[in-house]
Amino acid sequence: MKLHQPKLIKRVDLPLSKSECNRWLILRDLFPGTINIQTLSTAEDVVILNRLLQEKPDVYDCGMAGTTLRFLIARLSLLSGEHLVTGHPRLKERPIKPLVDALRHLGADITYTEKEGHTPVRIVGRTLEGGEVYIDNTHSSQFVSALMLIGGALAQGLTIHGKSMGVSAPYIYMTAQVMQSMGVALSIDGSTIRIKPFKKTLASKDIKVEPDWSAASYGYAMVLLGQDSEVYFPGLKQPSFQGDALVANYFAPLGVETIYTGAGIRIKKSTRRMFERSYTLNLSGNPDLAQTLVVACIGIGQAFRFGGLHTLKIKETDRLLALKNELAVIGATLTIGDDFIEWQGDETIHPPTRAFDTYNDHRMAMSLATLATLFPIDINNPEVVEKSFPAFFEAFFGDLC
């Protein structure tokens, strides 16, 4: 797909938060009649989870959806019958052992059918009483969220002891806020989470899901890189369930102003304050913003070092390596380590020497697309944006793509 010069004085309707939708879908399935979700995201991850929960097939194919995989493993542990959970070959590489170990400790019947510690798994659902469980959550907050979501359905409730709350902690707090808003009694003390059994209410709760702050990040990057740029995102607000609402804070010192209108936000260029030295952030709580920030900083010549990114190696692709490979195409030499990515800011970038590859990763496609604000680009496999923002190219580029 060839791209250049997105229209950047406009309104963009963002997809609804897939992270929030997926949490509500699990809770709705666990507690029928208590939740009415007004509108669901059209993101592929949400569509897959919603379909699987409704159809309850013998084989649950999660595609590339890591959240769907982890949440389903926990949910199906309580659902009577035998279930096989599988997915795309890349999904089979992503870790699930800490979650499976914790569920087995609670009495779940889960068997690996190929490689130990990885999908596919066969689950024989049964009644779990709950109690206390310890989990290694250093590689994914989804392990903790998956356990939390089923905690209220256990007769004894659930106490979860994690190693820390560091990795993607905002997603754990999102899970807690969603559960508390539907009436689940829950507390967080350090890295210990206590959940009491949920008692159904008679009335169904109407749920209006927020637009996705992660998706807004690409607009921030385009406004930063563009001229006379202003974008209106209806529905975004503070406070938000979503930790990625911090994107507004992260782009403010780079030169993007966020104006809260009550009905949404407007973002526009402000006087950019270039850092005398490297722009340094720990993104362990917001790793989904890393690719956008990396591309945006390179686009304005801003040196950076972003840390706390060890989970990016086990996403849809090794995102650190993918960024290094693709941004070399415009003349940027990145240094990556186990948990960081940095650029010295002393190189002049140029139009790409070939089409960008996207590695079956929606966030690679969308973050690289922001460079079309600077010069013409070509992106391979653009349809990967279906995973989280199906209307991405239409929303920002319209008839230009």
* Close Cβ partners of 214 (under 8 Å, ≥ 6 residues apart): 17, 19, 242, 244, 247, 288, 289, 388
Report the distance separating Cα 84 and Cα 277, nearest Å: 51
- Under the banding of pLDDT at 50, 70 and 90, the label for residue 180 is very high
Q: Dump pLDDT digits (tens) for 262-320.
A: 899 999 998 777 666 899 999 998 999 999 999 999 999 999 999 999 888 877 789 99
Region for 302 from its dihedrals, namely left if φ exceeds 0, alpha if ψ lies in -120 to 50, beta otherwise: beta
Looking at the structure, tell me whether residues 139 and 227 fall in a common domain.
no
Looking at the structure, tell me whether residues 11 and 24 fall in a common domain.
no
Q: What is the CATH number of the domain that holds 227?
A: 3.65.10.10
Report the distance separating Cα 69 and Cα 87, nearest Å: 8
Looking at the structure, tell me whether residues 175 and 278 fall in a common domain.
no
Q: Dump pLDDT digits (tens) for 182-233.
A: 889 999 998 899 999 998 765 678 999 999 999 999 999 999 999 878 999 9
Instruction: Give yes or no for a contact between 249 and 277, defined as CB atoms under 8 angstroms apart.
Output: no
Looking at the structure, tell me whether residues 248 and 202 fall in a common domain.
no
319-327 and 290-300 helices cross at what angle (nearest 10)?
A: 20
pTM of this structure: 0.89
Active-site residue numbers? 288
As for how many domains the chain has, the answer is 2
- Tell me which residue range forms the domain holding 34: 18-207
Instruction: Give yes or no for a contact between 247 and 272, defined as CB atoms under 8 angstroms apart.
Output: no
Single out the residue in 188, 207, 226 at which a domain terminates: 207
Report the distance separating Cα 112 and Cα 272, nearest Å: 52
| Cα separation values, 295 from 14, 33, 336, Å | 20, 44, 14
SS (H, E, C) 13-54: CCCECHHHHHHHHHHHHHCCCCEEECCCCCCHHHHHHHHHHH
| Residue labelled with tokens 């104006």 | 259
Q: Decide the pairing of beta strands 341-343 and 335-336.
A: antiparallel
Report the distance separating Cα 179 and Cα 78, nearest Å: 18
Looking at the structure, tell me whether residues 90 and 41 fall in a common domain.
yes
Q: Which of 224, 225, 114, 98 is nearest to 167 (CA)?
A: 98
Q: Dump pLDDT digits (tens) for 376-391.
A: 999 999 999 999 999 9
Looking at the structure, tell me whether residues 166 and 225 fall in a common domain.
no
Residues 291, 333, 316, 163, Cα dihedral to 10°: -70
What pLDDT score was predicted for residue 334? Answer: 97
Q: Dump pLDDT digits (tens) for 75-98.
A: 999 999 999 999 999 889 888 999
Looking at the structure, tell me whether residues 136 and 233 fall in a common domain.
no
3-class DSSP state of 208: coil
Single out the residue in 207, 228, 253 at which a domain terminates: 207
